[in-house]
Amino acid sequence: MPKSPRQIADEQLIAYNNHDLEAFCALFHSDAELYDLPSHTLVAKGLDDIRSMYADRFSNKDLRCEVHSKTDLADFAIDRETLSGLPTGTVEIVAMYQVKDDLIHKVYFIRQ
């Protein structure tokens, strides 16, 4: 039975907070894309870029994501999050995870 976008987003949050790179990457399509909005800047394209980006982040034991609210619409799971432990400090974001066929295809980040 297919998983909902919410189930996939929640699984990636657990993997993120556990710094489990393999479990995290297993939830992304091989051609997944990550974008910053509103500039629509491509942050990472493909699983190799995503793996490299998050391998570096996961090496920081203080990295953590806290979700404050969740909403879902069509094939999107949308979270209001606080990221801490980043080199730039704490960041408030909205993350929109587009899920198809039980994998994350695109993520859009709006940062404060």
72/75 Cα distance (integer angstroms): 8
Q: Which of 48, 43, 51 is nearest to 111 (CA)?
A: 43
Placement of tokens 């992304």 in the chain: 28
Residue 2 is predicted with a pLDDT of: 86
Q: What is the pLDDT of residues 20-51, one digit of tens each?
A: 999 999 999 999 999 999 999 999 999 999 99
16/1 Cα distance (integer angstroms): 24
Give the mean model confidence (pLDDT) for residues 4-16: 97
Q: Please report the domains of the chain, with CATH numbers, ordered by start residue.
A: 5-111 (3.10.450.50)
Buried b (16+ CB within 10 A) or exposed e, 60-73: eeebebeeeeeeee
Preceding omega of 87 cis (within 30 degrees of 0):
no
